[in-house]
A = this chain, B = another copy of it.
Amino acid sequence: MRKGEETRTRILDVAEAAVLQKGFGGTSIEELIAETGITKSGFFYHFKDKNELAKALLNRYIENDERIYDEIFGRARDLMDDPLQSFLLGLKLLSELLSDLPNGHPGCLVATVCYYERLFDREIQETNRNAVLAWRRRFGRMLREIMEVYPPREPVDVDRLADMVSSVLEGGIVLSKTLKEPNTLAEQVLMLRTFVRMLFLPVADPPVAAVRQGQAFGAAGNGQL
């Protein structure tokens, strides 16, 4: 049980790195066994086929992902009593964690699975869907707490706002990877943070120039004047 787990973990480690770089279809079992130093039979002893490898990979990834969010936003919660301040701190901590990744974010397995969709069975697709729904619930929960205290400046649907967090993260990863700019992801998280702060917090700092050549818009009264 001990030794087996260790080998299994080693395979998963190698597989995860490879899949995030080349996708599932682009990752061959042969290359995995070559890198882990195991035989083909050994590999199929642990995973009966590629689909089961994907399943294990995705489940482990999601668990780890959840753990990280628990830690970050849990820590933020400990440091800040106010739900908004705690959420903003959490986003800050998250962006710091992301910008500390030496080679940038390696990629999100949820996105990989999403773009490989049709070749997996229903179970994997359902797991992936549930992972995204878990994000929605997680961020939704925090945002609801915030909204109990801070009325949003604009009317927003809390689930869509929660999804925005996931969107910016997933999109930021794609941008960061494609541009080969590791810091872009962290910056996108900070941009999102600005959005959240602006949405819930009364005007942050008094603007230097109060009036500008604004065109005439129907309702807009300027609270800063």
Contacts and interface: CB of A to CB of B under 8 A. Distances in A.
Given A23-B23, A114-B174, 18 more contacts: A20-B115, A21-B117, A23-B24, A23-B119, A24-B25, A85-B215, A111-B115, A129-B179, A149-B213, A164-B188, A168-B168, A174-B174, A195-B195, A201-B220, A202-B214, A202-B221, A204-B220, A206-B223
B25 A27 contact: yes
A203 B177 contact: no
A216 to B, nearest CB: 9
B224 A202 contact: yes
Interface of A: prevailing SS: helix
A212 B164 CA distance: 25
Interface in A113-142: 113-119, 128-129, 131-133
Nearest to A166: B175
Interface residues of A, number: 82
A4 interface: no
Interface in A123-172: 128-129, 131-133, 149-151, 153-154, 156-157, 160-161, 163-164, 166-172
A82 B215 contact: yes
